[in-house]
Structure 1
């Protein structure tokens, strides 16, 4: 895939701490109702992930045909555990976003790229009086955690994912994510999906299982 040189400057690097679970099949109504006890925003878009050539430690995608995002994996600080409710691999990332001007023939389906359709439900959490609460997004660099419940469609298959992404001061990332996870999982995830280590992985690891 080629594109015109981007206009403007890339964003500053954003640090995040993330955990994600990905499950096969269609998203059940019971799960959307479980998530709907928090205020949500909705968004539908198609992202395209670079799978070939493989670049160890990097995730590269075109986000909604509007931005080129590059994420660098900085390792795992350990396991998120919410007693009897969830276990997942914590992942540290740095992300840069570049303006993207696709050529007229761009479709997101060029060789080496995998298009992934997403219908996202997003709830945002932040600290208020020492407690994690659902609220509107805060200014940059404030401790917060976005939680997304997303329906995914790629190569004719349906999947869904539940992900947490904490941002803000580096020394508060872990505590913010863990407090948010305890609140979200204060009610167990309904249905047969088990948020365990086997289902915990990033989009890039899921799409390229052998990298």
Structure 2
């Protein structure tokens, strides 16, 4: 597969602060109920992640067959900590997104890429009057944070993930994410869902820690 960036059409660019936890197994109904106290949007899609060659500091994926996304890792400003509820590693990313479509005769996932099917539930929050509140689905210009609860299937295995992604003015990213996390975790996650450092990682880190992608069929 050959990807050519559109000539004369710069990609969309965004800076974000993120934290994610990834758990093995199927998502429990109790967790979806815990998350469902907020308004949610749902989406089902398949993303392809580039794993071979490995590109340290970069995450490259084809999002739902419609966009090529390239993310550059800018390090960690520390940990997110919600006392007694969650602890995870914050990650700073810069993302570029380009319109993308496969050639008509290109079928299936090419070598070096791994497909990940996702069924996503997303709640969106923004600052209003100095407080974090759930908001309408339309993206705004100010500080905001998307929280996703996603069922993941790849290579015949089930996983699930809880992730926070803050966007907007760079100086407000951390405070926006932390305020959103305090609101989401004002109730303790049910069952065995205890977000901690061992489960905290990006999709790219998680996929590259799994068995050699060159031996796994699409």
Same fold (TM over 0.5): yes
- Alpha-carbon contact 1:9-1:99 (below 8 Å) kept: no
Question: What CA RMSD, in Å, does the superposition of the two structures yield over aligned residues?
Answer: 1.5
Report the counterpart of residue 83 of structure 1 in structure 2: 83
Q: How does 1:65-104 map to 2 (within 5 A)?
A: 65-104=65-104
Aligned to 2:214: none
Say if 2:88 and 2:196, in contact at 8 Å, map to a contact too. yes
Whole-Å separation in 2 of the counterparts to 1:76 and 1:46: 28
Aligned residues: 210
What SS class does the counterpart of residue 102 from structure 2 fall into?
coil
1:199 aligns with 2:199: yes
SS at match of 1:13: strand
Note if contact 1:108-1:115 (Cα within 8 Å) is conserved in structure 2: no
* Pairing 1:138-177 to 2, within 5 Å after superposition: 139-177=139-177
CA contact (8 A) 1:15 1:95 kept: yes
Give the aligned partner of residue 45 of structure 2. Answer: 45
Residue of structure 1 equivalent to 2:190: 190
- Seen in structure 2, the aligned counterparts of structure 1 residues 71 and 146 have a Cα distance that, compared at 3 Å, is same
Q: Report the secondary structure of 1:208's partner residue.
A: helix
The 8 Å contact of residues 2 and 103 in structure 1, kept in 2 or not, is answered as no
Shift of 1:118: 0.3
Q: Please report the TM-score for the alignment, with normalisation by the length of structure 2.
A: 0.92
Q: Does 1:26 align with 2:7?
A: no
1:108–1:141 CA distance, 2 compared to 1 (3 A): farther
So what's the TM-score if we normalise by structure 1?
A: 0.95
**C-alpha distance in structure 2 between counterparts of 1:198 and 1:60, whole Å:** 24
CA distance in 2, matches of 1:5, 1:146: 28
1:107 Cα deviation (Å)? 3.9
Determine helix, strand or coil for the equivalent of 1:160.
strand
